[in-house]
Amino acid sequence: MTKPSNGFQIHTPEDAPEESRETLNNIAQAYGFVPNILGIAAESPAALKAYATLNSLFKEQGSFSKTESEIVLLLISAYHGCGYCVAVHSTGAERSGVDADTVEALRQGKELPDPKLQALAVFTRRMIDTRGWLEESDIQAFLDAGYSRRHILDLITALAMKTISNYTNHIADTPLDDAFSKKAWQKAS
Task: Tell me the CATH number for domain 18-183.
Answer: 1.20.1290.10
Q: Indicate the domain borders of the chain.
A: 18-183
Residues 6 or more apart in contact with residue 186 via CB below 8 angstroms:
83
Tens-digit pLDDT profile for residues 109-151? 999 999 999 999 999 999 999 999 999 999 999 999 999 999 9
The answer to whether residues 58 and 164 touch, using CB atoms and an 8 Å cutoff, is no
Residues 6 or more apart in contact with residue 135 via CB below 8 angstroms:
none
pLDDT at 7: 85
pLDDT at 3: 60
pLDDT at 16: 96
The answer to whether residues 9 and 1 touch, using CB atoms and an 8 Å cutoff, is yes
Q: Tell me which residue of 32, 48, 36, 33 sits closest to 8, measured CA to CA.
A: 36
d(CA 188, CA 156): 26
Residue segments in the chain with a per-residue pLDDT below the cut of 70: 1-5, 188-189
The one-letter code for the residue type at 58 is F
pLDDT at 84: 97
